[in-house]
Amino acid sequence: MAADLEPHREDEIEPDQPAEEGELDSDVPDGDGKHRGVIEYSETHARLHRGPLPDPETLAGYGAIDPSFPERIVRSFERQSEHRQDMERLLLDGSERRASRGQIIGSALVGLGLTGGIIAILMGEAGVGAAIIVPSLAGGVLTYLFGFGPRDKE
């Protein structure tokens, strides 16, 4: 009962008294047995790093675990970069070869059509010669102007 007669300060909270809104309970009483409201403070720090390699602080952290980790990570990145560049080079070289081959074959077919049409005209078959020359030229010109094939879809 003596506790009920003691004066209370506004910042003191009785053990069975719930904390008011905005206050936090503390389960640890101070020296006089009273529970006091506790204000907690916390900070959150965040970092954002974008890139193929970890940032220097993270690499240093890996180095603290094993001194060879940073070098191994960088070496792995370099090998992967070289591999990717080699693959891109192979794709480009193959694409160029296919394009060159297509141009040679297309030119040969147009030339063959023109030659066949001219021979037909010289043999007195003007209609047949024209029927060979016109599609040959049209196919060559249209392919040159508009192109077609899988490269346009990429």
Continuous segment of H or E residues that includes residue 12? strand 12-13
Q: Give Cβ neighbours of residue 102 (< 8 Å, ≥ 6 apart).
A: 149
User: pLDDT for 112-139, tens place per residue?
Assistant: 999 999 999 999 999 999 999 999 999 8
> CA torsion, points 139, 144, 149, 150, in degrees to nearest 10?
170
Alpha helices (H) along 2-153: 2-5, 56-65, 69-122, 126-146
User: pLDDT for 40-49, tens place per residue?
Assistant: 888 898 888 8
Cα→Cα distances 39→13, 19, 35, Å: 13, 12, 13
Give the dihedral sign, CA 48/54/55/59: positive
Given a cut of 80, whether residue 77 has pLDDT beyond it is: yes
Phi, psi of 36 (to 5 degrees): -115, 150
Mean pLDDT of 127-152: 82
User: pLDDT for 85-101, tens place per residue?
Assistant: 999 999 999 999 998 89
The pTM is what? 0.47
* Residue 70: per-residue pLDDT: 93
Tell me which residue of 17, 25, 26, 27 sits closest to 8, measured CA to CA.
17
Given a cut of 70, whether residue 13 has pLDDT beyond it is: no
